[in-house]
Amino acid sequence: MRDLAFVGFLMAFLALGFQRPFIFVLAYAYVDIVAPQRLSYWMLNAVPVSLIVFGLAFLGWLIADDKKDVRVSFRQGVMLLLFMWCAYTTRTADFPIDAQGKWEWVWKALVFAMFLPLTLRTKLRIEALGLMMVLCASSIIITGGIKTLVSGGGYGVMQLLISDNSGLYEGSIISTVAICIIPLILWLANYGTIFPPDWRVKTFAYALIFACLLIPVGTQARTGLVCIGVLAVLMLRFVRYRFLYAGLAAALAVAAVPFLPASFTDRMATIGEYKADQSASTRVAVWAWTWKYVQQNPMGGGFEAYLQNKVKFDTVAAKGDGPNTQIEKQEITDKGRAYHSSYFEMLGEQGFLGLFLWLIIHFGGVVRMEIIQRIYRKRNREDEKWVVPLALALQNGQIIFMVGSAFVGIAFQPFVYMLIAMQIGLDTYLARRRKEAAFRPLIDGRTAPKLA
């Protein structure tokens, strides 16, 4: 019965999708973020759902969508170069079989990020994509927030919807994404039109933001705490009373400490001294290994090149109490440890060229959103008041990601590439609008002489 219901839903989805092809685009965003096939017992696991919906999105756009005002940006070209470079390094990878496994989902993330801006021709579509991204992530975040309130969470023990430790279901990744989307949530709550701002929308938005802030507590991911700090600093830029805001933020942080789980505060305390924590010590050692490796292999080792690393590092631990406390050093050897940093992930796997292209894509987004803000801050049109806040939200989300990604390997996380695609879509849409507004016909049709 469940399978028959699914088939019926699929047929209705296909019929509606080819009338409104952007529905396929939103469906792929949902599949890529939530990965519903992992929630299924049989049917969805038996078919390549992601690839099928991706094909439908492209086919629907090719057949039924209007393409007269399509624009291609510089960053889409850079993503194409990165795609080609990753394809090459996969063929020459140190571990070809393992590299192929990662390439099977990386290529879709890159291609979809290049394709998605072509479909974002209207403000409604841009908003719909942002709303879909927030709602998809919220299905995981709300679950994690509730579990944190009930049990307090725990490092490596809190399950988010399913028992999985990859994609957005991994603690550090969901912590980064949860804080990254807070600016976008605020924009939707104040400028959205699909769900017009009222007390219900804003109540849900603030509750969702609270759940986002709880995710780093529940997962006990130190990356999440760093991202919260970055968000607090970024919000200082445009608040009217900065000292009052900073004082209230500090007071709230201090007031929240007694309510936090002891395991959370203990783990956060290790941020200041990496040698006291084996996980942090391993990361530093892997980063040092990666730098030495890429000096000998400037083109990188392809996906999953970290599998060959072997690192040694020292940790320190305090034993005893009071005057009898002794600091003991211990040398640990480990191998095959992941990069735990997007920057070193790109450097080790794609070499200097791959890292350079990746930095252009991401830092280019920060620059372009800043340019848009400066252009539209000078304009005073009622129908453009939403532009600057959206550009700022996307810029802040990008900066939070860039800081958080320094401590977690999410260089090819599909969710972030959708954020980049949304930036590009906004940029090209506004450029087209400015061009149309600047166009003035040489002869006004109303006064032109009639030809016999």
State the sign of the Cα–Cα–Cα–Cα dihedral 54, 58, 63, 64: positive
CB atoms under 10 Å from CB of 450, counted, come to 4
CB within 8 Å of 133: residues ≥ 6 apart: 29, 33, 181, 184, 415, 418, 419, 422
| CA separation for the pair 67, 349 (Å, rounded) | 36
Q: Which of 394, 400, 402, 399 is nearest to 429 (CA)?
A: 394
More confident residue, 221 or 77: 77
Q: What is the pLDDT of residue 182?
A: 94
Residue 381's pLDDT band (boundaries 50, 70, 90)? Answer: confident
Residue 451's pLDDT band (boundaries 50, 70, 90)? Answer: very low
Q: What is the pLDDT of residue 4?
A: 43
pTM above 0.95, yes or no: no
Q: What is the pLDDT of residue 83?
A: 97
SS3 of 320-384: the string is CCHHHCEEEEEEEEEECCCCCCHHHHHHHHHHHHHHHHHHHHHHHHHHHHHHHHHHHHCCCCHHH
How much is the average pLDDT of 286-298? 92
Q: Which of 262, 253, 257, 182 is nearest to 220 (CA)?
A: 262
How much is the average pLDDT of 133-157? 81
Q: What is the pLDDT of residue 156?
A: 58
Q: Give residue-wise pLDDT tens across range 204-219.
A: 999 999 999 988 888 8
Q: Give residue-wise pLDDT tens across range 265-274.
A: 555 555 555 4
Q: Which residue has the tokens 């492209």?
A: 58
Q: How far lies 336's CA from each of 128, 159, 284, 289, in Å? A: 41, 25, 14, 11
Q: Give residue-wise pLDDT tens across range 45-55.
A: 666 777 888 88
In the chain, the largest separation of any two C-alpha atoms, in whole Å, equals 108
Most confident of 159-173, 357-371, 375-389: 357-371
How much is the average pLDDT of 19-42? 73
How much is the average pLDDT of 166-185? 88
Q: Give residue-wise pLDDT tens across range 106-139.
A: 999 999 999 999 999 889 999 999 999 999 899 8
Angle between helices 414-438 and 123-151 (to 10 degrees): 150
| CA separation for the pair 383, 119 (Å, rounded) | 22
How much is the average pLDDT of 275-289? 73
Q: Give residue-wise pLDDT tens across range 295-338.
A: 999 999 999 999 998 877 666 554 555 454 545 566 677 788 88
CB within 8 Å of 134: residues ≥ 6 apart: 181, 184, 185, 188, 208
